[in-house]
């Protein structure tokens, strides 16, 4: 059990540091604007594909 915990600890520490970095990144205004633009573009293209007549 101790060895399993010892092997898991580096990954848990890495995940914690990455989560902290992503949280700081997500609070930046420009990053949120870019992410919103990407989501909007993806939704637009998905709707375009759904509304196109089927091709044979």
Locate the domains of the chain by residue range.
23-56
Phi, psi (rounded to 5 degrees) for 27: -85, -5
Residue 42 neighbours by CB under 8 Å, 6+ apart:
none
> Cα–Cα distance between 55 and 22 in angstroms, integer?
42
| pLDDT at site 25 | 94
Nearest-angstrom CA–CA distance, 18 and 28: 16
Cβ neighbour number for residue 43 with a 10 Å cutoff? 10
* 22-40 per-position pLDDT tens digit: 999 999 999 999 999 999 9
Query: With a threshold of 0.85, does the pTM exceed it?
Result: no
The answer to whether the beta carbons of residues 26 and 32 sit under 8 Å apart is yes
């Amino acid at each position: 059990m101790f060895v399993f915990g010892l092997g898991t600890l580096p990954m848990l520490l890495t995940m914690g540091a990455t989560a902290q970095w992503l949280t700081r990144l997500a609070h930046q205004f420009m990053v949120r604007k870019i992410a919103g633009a990407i989501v909007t573009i993806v939704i637009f293209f998905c709707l375009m594909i759904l509304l196109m007549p089927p091709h044979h």
